Amino acid sequence: MSNLGDHVTKIRSKNAGPFWVTIDIFCGSAETYAWCCGILDTNAVAALYQTPAKDVLRFDIAALNVIKFSFPRPTIQGALQDRDMHGAAWATLLETLEVERS
Amino acid sequence: MTRVLVPAGALGLGFDQDALDRGVAMKPDIIAIDGGSTDSGPAYLGRGVSKYSTASTKAEWAKLIDAQQKAHCPLVIGTAGTCGANSTVDWLFEITCEILAERNATAKIVRLYSQQPADRIITALDNGTLTPLAGAPHIDATVIGACSNIVALAGAEQIQAALAVHPDIIIAGRTTDTAIISALPLLNGDNAGAAWHGAKIAECGALCSTHPMSGVVMVDFDTTGFTIEPLSTGAICTPETVSAHMLYENTDPFCLYEPGGYLDVTGAKYIQHTDTAVRVEGSVWTRTDPYTVKLEGARCAGFQTVSIATLRDRRYVENSTAWCADIISRLRHDIAQRTKLNDGEYHIELRQIGRDSTLGALETDHTTPAEVGIMGIITTQTQAQSTEIAKMLNPYLLHHPLTPDEPMPTFAFPFSPPEMERGPIYEFCLNHIMAIQDPMSCFEMVVTHV
C-alpha cells in the first residue's frame, strides 16, 4: 500500500468563501489522472470528510489533469468549533489516503 | 484595448519593484489591487480593522501611489483594509493623505463605501429581496441587528461610477476581487466574458504564473479576449498556469457569479501567445436580472479566554484524551457548584495539539506523539466570566492526576499567567444576495481633493 500523495504532484485545500471548502488534486500526468479518476470514489471521499455525498461537487478536468472536490464546510469558517481558519489542512486527509497502484 | 497593471494579489503581500517599474513604463490605463478577503476569518469584519500593520500597508501603498503619479492613470484598491468596512476605507484614506503630504503631492481621491445599515437588510428580508446562497445560516431581524458590520460586495458598476469622476485614486470598501480589474475594460467596450475572466485570472497577481510570489502581472483586454503576462524576470504564464487559476478558491472552476451576471469559461481557449504571455478567448458573460449584490456580516459570538499547558510525560501523553475528558467533567461540576452560569451559558473545550487539534473527528493518524499541547478554550458572554472559568481550570492543567493514588504530577506551562484574554470573538452570519434596483442605490461615494 502507498498514499495518494506519493503518486500525484500536489493536493491542496482552501476555503472557497467562509461557507465552502475546495480540494484540488493535481495529478501531474494524463496517466496518473486516469488512474486517479478510476480509484477515487466520490462516496469514499465524502466519507473521509464525514460529509453527505449529495453535497460533494466533483469536477474531473482532463485538460489540467486535475480532480476537484467542493463541499460545504462542516463548520462555518471562524465559528467556535472551527479548527482550520483557511481550510488548508483538509488536503492531508486525501494525501494520506491509502491506495494501491500496480 | 485596455491595459490593466496588477501589482500583487493583495496589498500587504509584497511585490517585485523592478517588475512594477517595468509595468509603469508600459503605460497602463489603470493600476488595480485587492486589499482584502474573508480568508483570515470573521474578526476583521466584526471589528472593522485591517489584518496587515499600518506601517507595512503604508510602505507598500506609497510605492503604488508613486507608480500612479508616474503612470498618470487611476490607482484603485478594492476591499480596503482586509474587510472593506467604512472604518477601514477611512483608515486607508488617512494613510493616503499622509503619503501625499510627505511627497508634497496632490490627488483626487474617491472613497467608495460598501457598508450597509442593518435596517436596510432587515427591510430586504421582509420584502423578500434577500436570497440565501448554498450553505447560508438561518437569519432573522435579531441576527441582522446583532452584526457589528455588514458590507455588500461592489461590482464593476460601482467602480465605474467612481471612475466616472476621473480620480487619481479610488479607495473602495468591500468589492469583489475581480470588479476592480474588469470595470475599466467593460467601460471601454472590451469583450465582457474576457473582462471578467481576465480579472479572475489576474486577481491573485502572479499566482497564475510559474513565479507565484513575484506579484506583478499585466493584462491587455480587447474586443475578442485578453492577454496576460507576468512582469518579473523569469516568470512565465503558460496555458496550464493560467487555466489552473480558475480552480483557486472557487467552488466551480468553470462558473463565477458576480454582481449583475455570471461568467462561464467552459468554452475558453488558452494559447501560448509569446514566450511569457498567454492569450485567452471564448469565455462568456451572461447578465442576470434582477441586479444582485452579495452580503457579508459578522456578529460577536462571545468573549474568549485561552490557557495552554503541555504534557510531555509518556503516560499522560498516551492517556491525554481520557485526562481531558475527566478534567472537563470536573470543571463542569465546579462551574455548577460555584458560579451562577447554566450549562448553556458557557462553552469549554480542551483541544489537544499534537493529537487532533487540526482535524478533530476527521483525524486518521492515531500514533502517539512525543508531547501534547492542551489548549483550553473558554467562551462566555463576558470576558470576566471566561477568565474566571479559565482560572478554575488552572489547577487541573497544573496538577490533575490520572489516578487518585499516585504522587501529584505537575505539567508544563509556557506562560505566567496561562490565561490569555482574546476579547470578543466573531462569527460570519450572512451568505445572502440582495436584489437592488440601481447598482449605486446601496453604495456611497465621497470625492476629495487632497
pLDDT at A26: 95
Beta carbons of B428 and A77 less than 8 Å apart: yes
Amino acid at B295: L
End-to-end CA distance of chain B: 31
Quick check: B168 pLDDT over 90?
yes
Residue range B69-98, pLDDT digits in tens = 999 999 999 999 999 999 999 999 999 999
Quick check: B11 pLDDT over 90?
yes
DSSP letter assigned to residue B206:
G
Strand arrangement of the beta sheet that strand B261-264 belongs to:
B255-258, B261-264, B284-287
Domain with A36 in it = 2-99
Quick check: B210 pLDDT over 80?
yes
In this complex, is the C-beta atom of B248 within 8 Å of any C-beta atom belonging to chain A? yes
Contacts of A64 in chain B (CB under 8 A): 240, 243-244, 247
Distance CA A93, CA B191 (A): 41
Amino acid at B345: E
Quote the cell numbers at residue A55: 453535497
pLDDT at B205: 93
Amino acid at B280: V
Q: Which of B43, B360, B428 sits opposite A18 (nearest CB)?
A: B428
Residues of A at the B interface, defined by Cβ within 8 angstroms? 14-20, 22, 24, 26, 48-50, 57, 59, 61, 63-64, 66, 68, 70, 72-73, 76-81, 83-86, 89-90, 92-93, 96
> How many CA atoms does the CB half-sphere of B172 hold within 13 Å?
36
Model-level ipTM above the cut of 0.95: no
Contacts of B426 in chain A (CB under 8 A): 78
Residue range B379-405, pLDDT digits in tens = 999 999 999 999 999 999 999 999 999
Question: Structural domain tally of chain A?
Answer: 1
CA–CA min distance A17, chain B (Å): 7
Residue range A15-59, pLDDT digits in tens = 999 999 999 999 999 999 999 999 999 999 999 999 999 999 999
Q: Which of B186-190, B214-218, B360-364 is the most confident on average?
A: B186-190
